[in-house]
Structure 1
């Protein structure tokens, strides 16, 4: 009878229909068992019966009770929501934490049938039972908690900075005499024992809280791979005592009821109960939550079994300070937990069994000085109800999400991980596709909510249940994906055949419940020219026959302009399959057959590459070797037998002994390596050993197989399958050391058979000691230590920067075609004939050598600096230890800066040759070079007016044509090598490179005609490289003429030089000079000496208002001269007629041209006004102005003579423009030139 009596509001009695009530006892292994007691009729008698355990009438098991014999119930009353039980003092016998816990549970579940189980308070002699327990030690820093938490106040914000002690209940413990678990498996092992599944459940709550930034302290090991405790049990199955000891907590935490030596002496179960809350006090966490599952009636089947969750807090006297906050925590967590189970999973039938005050019974939540609660999540013995949920990881994660939500609610924090929640990690949805192209895509989500699995309907779906690229709008989650873990969906998208922009979008959902989380979406442009470019040809195809019927292939990946969709596998020219990876197993082979394989790559548009290199492989034949006893090697005493059933002519036998005194060794000579099935043949009989010890020595070890030779005789009996290499190293040895005497062992025949056994799946060992040596700018040599294999190493794959690039059959390889001074990382993996790949070797990274620098090139050359560059050295790779070095004139090697392949040299001398040479290191400091030499001259000193001087000044007229120039400092190194020069009358010069060279001494040049002359210079160094030009000048040459008249015969623009002339007038901005004999005069522009001074004058002939003059003139003052007498002239003779073609006269001029001469006239003033007047000498001359007489310029006088006066005037004969020609005019020099008469 599997189903035991169950509780409801009334008593249900199993099977017999007997009346009475259920009393809950304990099993020897700590479980609970409800037994019907017919004599029990009320709550008091039911609780009283706890002191008198009985035999379980169902299975005859002896039951026990935590309530000591002789204990009486002195009273039972209901106070509000509490049931108070008063026990006699006998209940205190042997009272400890575990007994108090068990008494509480026995009482509560016994009173459940009477509806009195909500809150149980147990007294003895007027005091709560927990007050009789030994005092709990205080641990530092006990009780030091923030006032906000202690007062039940919660702060809004993140859980970052908050902490929790999360306690998964139970675990393996020392019980005083042996190691044992605190709870037994239930329901036929369909659910792991509570000690274990509490850990498995808590992992979800830990993940949720840590994602929120909370510090989670767990007093048990949560890592199933951590290893074993010294008792041999995995750490994760041990209770808190041993884990806290292992972590270094003080003994006062984990040994508070026994001593500091674990695994011996007294029962350490009480230590476990107390260690958890004491660890919380020691860690000073903010809250404490303990997770358990419940038990009541043993394995219970059917729908009437107990179900649901109980939540406990403690308001006992010991925990009174923390009563309110604990109750608040219980309320928050329970509300969120029940909501998650009933409404979100949803599981409406799950019972909320309420929140209970444990009243000191549970030390886990009575002891900690902080808010503390204990959750009994469900009943682990309700096999058809709660067990079905408790073993489901989805339910576990959902329930723990509810607890996590409750913790957040308690701290007024909104959880960042929703019940359904995720984040998009990555995707490779394309942005463009060719019409009709197929593309395999991958979308990866991280779970940030409850666990995903296929059975609960978690899928990836096309948003709005449609997608233009596929009709498959759902993709299942094929594995369980826990909180924080990722899952990648892989599927194909096929582009529409019509061009355009199409949107694809995908999202997670729980089918039938909710879409949730991030949307993975993109717009894909379909169009353009269809992809017609095939992938590259697969490289490095290798093949290995792993059995007579299987060949394994592997190759290096291809590349494509879009993507590689997969590979086609060809055998003997016919396609036999495809692969989405770079390997393939052909399991359709025949034994002892030769095959030729090749591989091609194809893309999403159906383009296929050419075939790879072909590989030829021959499958092995089925190999059988039989060693009969005549071919075996024997030691010790053996006899020969010939009973029927033997293999061959006879067999050998030997009497058994405690240890080997006789052996028979069957050693085959194998010609094919591989996995062999090992069979033995013997003649059976009743006197044969039941444990005949066959030792099988194989490649990689040996094993002993004990064979019962009393049965199975006269046939081949398979004893093991092991790998063997070729040759005679393997063997099977039968000994007679069975551990007892009185029997015999039979040594008849041994058979080795390969080809039909399991394929070789054991990879070689990892290559070791991989080294890399750069041997050139493009080659790196690799060497490593050989791998070993159970069958044999066939070769090695070489990986560069993570990609398989080559294979080698030896333990060395040279990688070529690399780039100079570039880092490459290498690993090597060994493979065997079955294409099993070893783990990777150690990784090595090496830089190729630096290039030897070419001869330096030169930039930015000046007279004092230049930049030298090693142009063939890649500047972008000059980092780490890579630098260039350049030496000048064989001197010190100067180091360049990071990232720069040039060095600038300063402080150099002009026009000086310097010789440079370069070398360089790679990023590991390995030197390359030095390279060839290169020389360069600095530029010459540029010509200036300071370093090239002339013996004559500029802008000064000279009457000799010779000009001499000097290079200050001369020529040669440190200066200038030579000048190219041009001497002409242009202020500027266009250089042709064919100009004359001046490279020594003084340069003398001559003006070939009068005028302005310029010397143009361009400086050059010894390499002929110019540096700077200068235009010197103007240098002025005026040709000498003897007389003013001779000068006036020359055309305008001609520079002339006149000597020994006398100044006749000075009007400030111009002067007049005359011949000493008064024969001719001329105006000279510019200032000059006073009249009567002898001068030499040079200037350019010009004409203004019919008057010749010298412009741009130079005046050299001589001694005192004599002004010629001014001749008296008639008005009509003033000015005169034209002197020559270049010197005109005045309008109506008569007689000799006298313009420019100092002359004298007389007459009466006919008109006078400021600045001028007219004087008539009586002939009535008129210049057309309307006035009579000649015009007199009086601007040099104080005032014009008055009209009517008779005057004698001395002045310069000049001209005046009346608009109709130039007329006569006299210009007096000063008032002294005026004599007036009445």
Structure 2
């Protein structure tokens, strides 16, 4: 946890001594020259950086604090780029993140809303404890999850900015257009994020001042919730890297100027090779280059039929695909963020490989699927295998709802069997399969088979999930509620017991009451209380616990209404 740091001690003024009358004029002259030389030497040895580090507060919710590894990535890049005279500050501590040493102080609070922080006047206490010069603010995710209007979020932003300026009139503020979110059970979240992000630039333009400028940082564009998050909300390693990459160019001008110049090129990629298969797909591979700051990508060049090399694409990976259409040669080079490029690799040539005649014969039609091991949510299908002149590569399994719905691909199998999961209880499905070979030829579809899953009783199931924990508390989300029946339910009630000494401090996406250590969470009418058969929703809560206690609630019951 960051603690208030006292101001650095001021240099002690040089003592003034009187000169005794018996000193001669020549001695006085010599002493004066010596003092002048000492002053010049001291001035020449003065450090280039300021005596007081620039204090940077990362402010937000669990995306910032739990564990918020974009902070570690950003800290590491700043240090490697020469911005060492900085201090991340906050009343929260967050370490780890696969870095041996970095400044983990922050003001990231899991489950917190911008409106809640503003309404409860929590920020002034954090500011008084840390005195930031720069604030990196990524807030609004939990507000949107709780259906808070954009205008209310921006009003909270304005109050937080006023509190920052009251603490330090020269605070430099970086406000994020937040990363996208697609959590289960929050169909309104994507549009809520879009509305907030589109309103932030205009809000910032009206609130910025020359003494305390507000810089808008686009964290949304190019961020993919499938590839860059672990659950549709919280970033994974690629997401943390993207967030750091967006903060860095906006922050560095506030730390004493532009990014220090980087003139060192990456090393030349090693082990460059090319392979081509009988479908004329080319795959280029190589060993990663190294760089004093970091390799940002690779440029791929191609020469066709003896012509000059031209650029055909870039990649951040150590491989690149292409399609052969002539006699090709390839070479690549690495580049870094400053635009420095390595030397080119030696060219490699690619020609079509010797391949057998093209296969145009499709496999035979597989037998009609037969169902076994049918449960409320799954069914195992088997069928008579197909044959092919060069071998069956696998089977495509298609499913249709009811007795008249359209078929859609639900899976593939290399064997003449497939288990379909995630089905609704007491529901009818139809299945058909087709075979395919390595050349892409497909058989006709099998005759369709009808399967009905078991079950039919109304009910629901609940599960609790720990997102993050620390010495004095934890956040549980996404906690799931699933309709296990065959008809829609109009309400659900989840009950569980908090361990002794634990206190619930906040919740979202559910109506929650506490009686002693018993916690009861109910669906919110008009939001997530009604669940269709087989569908579900999520909710979350935050709790405190005694120091040293690492237990969390684990079992929950669910009742449908």
TM-score by length of 1: 0.14
Bigger radius of gyration: 1
Q: Highest relative contact order (Cα 8 Å, sep 6+), 1 or 2?
A: 2
**Per residue, is there more strand in 1 or in 2?**
1
**Per residue, is there more helix in 1 or in 2?**
2
TM-score by length of 2: 0.29
